[in-house]
A and B are shown apart, each in its own frame.
Chain A
C-alpha cells in the first residue's frame, strides 16, 4: 500500500491505496464520486475524462499514485450552490444528451477545449477536438451545438 494526497474538487483528500488503483477507481470507489464513468476501460471512449492540474486526461489510463499532489476536478466539481456550470447548462438547453453516460466526459473535454481554443468554436474544431469522446446515442449533432453554446456562455460568466 502507498499513501496519496491530492485535492479533489477543492477538498484535500488522502488515502492508503494499492499502487494498481486507477484514478477513476480512486474517484469512484474511495471518494464515491460516481459521476466519472467507465465506458470502455481501454482508453478510447472518454467517459472517464477529468481535469488534472487543469488538463483533460483519461482517468482510466492514469494511476492515482501519479496524481499525488495534483489538483483534480470532476463533473461533481463544476456546479456551485446549485447553479450548473454554463457548459452543463448548455448541454441541458440544447438536448446534448440522451442516456447521459458519455456526458460527464463530454463536458469535461468541452471545458478543456474552451480553455485551449477560446470561446468562438466552429463546428469543424469541435468535432475534431471531440475525437477522444464517443457517444452511442445522440449522433453528436446536439453535442456540437451544446459545446458551441457553452463556450459562448463561459465567456459571459467570467
Chain B
C-alpha cells in the first residue's frame, strides 16, 4: 500500500470539503474492496476519507411504501434487519449471501453500489426493484445510475447517503456463486409490482449489471417459470473466463431466472 493521509470527518459536509481539498482522495466505507485494491497497488489515493464516524449515514427504516437504507449499513445489518426481512425478504437474503460472515460485518451497501463490480449482488437488486440512490447532491434512479462495469453516474465529490427501495409485491434473487469467491457467476433478481415486472442480471455481461428486456416482456405476459422457456438470451457481449464461457453464462441467465420466478411465487 502506498502512503496516504487519513481523515475522519463527522459530517457529510466535511467529507465533501475533504474530497475537494485532496486531488485523488477516496472515500473509505467498509474497505472490503478499497483496501484489497490499495494493497495490490491498483489504487493509490493521496487521502482516505473514513465514513465510519459520519453522522446520518446509518440506519434502516420504513418510510411510507419504501425501505430506506443508510449508505453505511453493513451487509450483515441488512440481512438481519426485521424491517427488510418483512418488507423485502429477497433483499435481506441477497445481503446474507454476499461473501462470508466477516466480509458482511464490514462491507456496506453504499460501497457496493458505488463500486458497481460487474459480479456484485446489490446492483441487481437496485435495478430490479427500481431503487433510488440518494447522494449529497441529488436523487438518481437506478436505471440511470449503473453505467457499465465499475462505472456509475456519481460525479467527483458525490457521496451516496442512502438507497430507497419501493416495496414490491413479489421478488426473489437467485445467484450461481463462483465456488471460490462467492461472487455471482450469474445472479438474477426478479420483481413484480402490479403489472410491472423487472428482471436484472449481474455477473454475466461485460457491460455490468443490466435489465433483460426480453425476459421482462415474457414474464409480463405470464409470471411463471414456463414463460422463460423459449426466450433467447443474447450472450454476444457476455463475460468469458476460466470459470465459464459466454454461452454457459447465457444459459445460466435462463436457469437462474426460472429459479428466481419460482422462488418469487413462493414455490
Contact = CB atoms under 8 A, between A and B. Distances in A.
B238 to A, nearest CB: 26
Contact of A19 (B5, B76, B103): B5
Nearest to A117: B101
B242 interface: no
Contacts of B106: 57-58, 61-62
Interface residues of B, number: 26
* Interface SS of chain A: mixed
A2 interface: yes
Interface stretch (A28-36, A42-50, A89-97, A136-144): A42-50
A43 B35 CA distance: 9
Contacts of A58: 102-103, 106
Most buried by A among B31, B36, B100: B100
Contact of B102 (A20, A22, A57, A66): A57
Contacts, number: 73
Contacts of B3: 18-20
A44 to B, nearest CB: 8
B31 A66 contact: yes
B50 A132 contact: no
A63 B4 contact: no
B101 A56 contact: yes
Contact of B101 (A61, A62, A65, A129): A129
B20 interface: no
B102 A56 contact: yes
Nearest to B5: A19
Interface in B22-76: 28, 31-32, 35-36, 39, 48, 50, 52, 76
